[in-house]
């Protein structure tokens, strides 16, 4: 029961459709950063969401700060199979669609120089749900991989210009996948399902330098978090011959290793005020996806003694640029654009992880409703374009080939911030 409740909460807090970003990492968790397309990520530090982006930024908050962010994400993506596809079936429909997301952030000053905080949010994972009878069902039918993080944090203002901060990252990871199994000499498919849930731990550290009232620089590092998923596969409706073959290979009742590593990241950002009402913001960043792990599960891989394959992921790079038009007595506006390189080459792309390079374009508006309450609204388009795929793991899985056409992510977020 506890695990079921935790998974349900994870679905509300984390948007598992991250799979379509440059990697499996989202910058969008319902905060005003969405309208900036993440520009100024490690240097903006204007609300308690800085716990996630750079914990050192908490020293810029002189009062108790509570931010609640809500997000509605719609992902429009679908595969158009081509003539190289060997399995019968449909195109799978849109495997993602709508997902909720968001986060909760709180910062409390304990002295002139020390701040403590707590955040609960999710910005890692994916969720896919293809039609059961689609042409790629022997590669994947349903897949969920998501992480929800609890981050207690502390920051210290070392001097008038330098602050440092750190946060513990306790991540609850959930993995669940379902794959159809091609039964030789039988018209009916079998099924393979694997699921597990584990905790993983890491940390975030950051430094913030404020050269003057208008200019600041931030640098943050997020450590890797290993999620040691492992489970005995659940097979059903297998033909006698296939069941015998899998038994001989030791795959029917042996626990399989599905460990993945949420990557380490580095982000450097700046904010520079111009003319009193405008601010320019920017980032450069790196994410270490090359050590991600194994989550691709199917029967009849190139390795007949395993149900998993290594994913040939590669590290990714990020850049963003944005602007803020600040109006303390009315509406303030945010603009931003960002680019993330792909964590996978076209030749290695999988229908279980349809990842690719992503352009982001954001717009947001913020308004002070009362002396202690701010409202934020934002929209961001994440443009994926065309993502070709050509995947084959053996005669039982068949070949699925085609293109995900005009993939796009639509983020709509709203936030409320209280200063107490």
**315-324 mean pLDDT:** 96
Among the listed ranges 117-131, 270-284, 322-336, which one has the minimum average pLDDT value?
117-131
pLDDT of residue 300: 54
Task: Give me the residue label for tokens 């070949």.
Answer: 399
The model's confidence at residue 166, banded by pLDDT at 50, 70 and 90, is very high
Please enumerate in sequence order all residues whose Cβ is within 8 A of that of 375, keeping only pairs 6 or more positions apart, or say none. 366, 367, 369, 414, 415, 416
pLDDT of residue 260: 84
Using DSSP's 3-state secondary structure scheme, residue 75 falls into strand
Longest dimension (CA), the chain: 76
Statement: residue 124 has pLDDT above 80 = no
> Per-residue pLDDT tens for 263-298?
899 999 999 999 889 999 999 999 998 887 655 555
Please enumerate in sequence order all residues whose Cβ is within 8 A of that of 184, keeping only pairs 6 or more positions apart, or say none. 239, 241, 242, 396
Question: 149 with 99: CB under 8 angstroms?
Answer: no
pLDDT of residue 246: 83
Statement: residue 6 has pLDDT above 50 = no
Q: What topology does CATH give the domain 2-419?
A: Porin (2.40.160)
pLDDT of residue 244: 87
> Per-residue pLDDT tens for 8-46?
223 333 333 334 445 556 888 889 999 999 999 999 999
**215-224 mean pLDDT:** 96
pLDDT of residue 127: 84
The CB-side HSE value for 53 (13 A sphere, CA atoms) comes to: 32
Task: Give me the residue label for tokens 């005009």.
Answer: 406
Statement: residue 402 has pLDDT above 90 = yes
Report the C-alpha gap between 150 and 407 in whole angstroms: 31
**311-323 mean pLDDT:** 92
**1-6 mean pLDDT:** 31
Report the C-alpha gap between 103 and 95 in whole angstroms: 24
Q: Residue 87 burial (CB < 10 Å; 0-12/13-18/19+)?
A: middle
pLDDT of residue 233: 86
The CB-side HSE value for 129 (13 A sphere, CA atoms) comes to: 8
What is each CA distance from 92 to 81, 109, 131, 141, 290, in whole angstroms?
A: 9, 51, 5, 9, 29
Using DSSP's 3-state secondary structure scheme, residue 417 falls into strand
Please enumerate in sequence order all residues whose Cβ is within 8 A of that of 90, keeping only pairs 6 or more positions apart, or say none. 131, 133, 134, 135
**72-98 mean pLDDT:** 92
Task: Give me the residue label for tokens 């679905």.
Answer: 11
Among the listed ranges 55-59, 107-111, 133-137, which one has the minimum average pLDDT value?
133-137
Question: What is the reported pTM?
Answer: 0.89
Statement: residue 2 has pLDDT above 50 = no
Share of the chain above pLDDT 70, in %: 90
Average pLDDT, the chain: 87
pLDDT of residue 24: 59
Statement: residue 306 has pLDDT above 70 = no
> Per-residue pLDDT tens for 90-123?
999 999 888 888 999 999 999 999 999 999 998 7
Question: 167 with 124: CB under 8 angstroms?
Answer: no
Statement: residue 1 has pLDDT above 50 = no
> Per-residue pLDDT tens for 238-255?
888 888 888 887 778 878
**78-84 mean pLDDT:** 93
Residues across the chain: 420
Domain ranges of the chain: 2-419
**375-404 mean pLDDT:** 91
- Total Cβ atoms within 10 A of residue 420: 9
pLDDT of residue 27: 87
């Amino acid at each position: 029961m506890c695990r079921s409740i935790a998974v349900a909460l994870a679905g509300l807090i984390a948007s598992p459709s991250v799979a379509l970003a440059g990697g499996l990492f989202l910058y969008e968790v319902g905060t005003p950063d969405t309208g900036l397309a993440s520009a100024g990520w490690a240097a903006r530090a204007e609300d308690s969401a800085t716990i996630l982006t750079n914990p050192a930024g908490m020293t810029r908050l002189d009062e108790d700060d509570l931010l609640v962010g809500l997000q509605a994400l719609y992902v429009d993506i679908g595969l158009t199979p081509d003539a190289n596809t060997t399995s019968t079936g449909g195109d799978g429909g849109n495997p993602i669609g709508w997902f909720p997301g968001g986060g909760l952030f709180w910062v409390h000053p304990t002295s002139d120089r020390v701040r403590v905080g707590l955040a609960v949010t999710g910005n890692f994972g994916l969720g896919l749900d293809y039609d059961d009878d689609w042409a790629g069902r022997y590669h994947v039918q349903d897949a969920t991989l998501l992480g929800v993080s609890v981050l207690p944090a502390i920051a210290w203002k070392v001097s008038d210009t330098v602050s440092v901060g750190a946060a513990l990252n306790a991540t609850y990871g959930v993995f669940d996948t379902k794959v159809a199994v091609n039964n030789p000499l039988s018209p009916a498919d079998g099924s393979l399902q694997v699921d597990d849930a584990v905790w993983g731990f890491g940390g975030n550290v950051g430094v913030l330098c404020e050269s003057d009232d208008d200019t600041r620089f931030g640098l943050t590092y997020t450590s890797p978090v290993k999620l040691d998923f492992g489970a005995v596969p659940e097979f059903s409706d297998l033909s006698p011959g296939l069941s015998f073959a899998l038994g001989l290979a030791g795959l029917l009742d042996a626990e399989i290793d599905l460990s993945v590593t949420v990557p380490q990241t580095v982000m450097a950002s700046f904010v520079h005020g111009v003319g009193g009402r405008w601010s320019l913001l920017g980032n450069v960043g790196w994410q270490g996806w090359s050590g991600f792990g194994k989550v691709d599960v199917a029967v009849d891989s190139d390795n007949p003694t395993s149900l998993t394959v290594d994913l040939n992921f590669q590290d990714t790079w990020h850049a963003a640029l944005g602007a803020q038009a600040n109006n303390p007595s009315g509406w303030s506006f945010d603009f931003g654009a960002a680019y993330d390189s792909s964590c996978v080459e076209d030749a290695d792309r999988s229908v279980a992880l349809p990842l690719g390079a992503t352009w982001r374009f954001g717009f947001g508006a913020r308004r002070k409703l009362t002396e202690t309450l701010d409202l934020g609204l934002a929209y961001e388009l994440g443009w994926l374009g065309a993502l070709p795929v050509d995947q084959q793991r053996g005669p039982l899985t068949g070949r699925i080939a085609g293109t995900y056409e005009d993939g796009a992510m639509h983020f709509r977020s709203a936030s409320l911030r209280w200063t107490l």
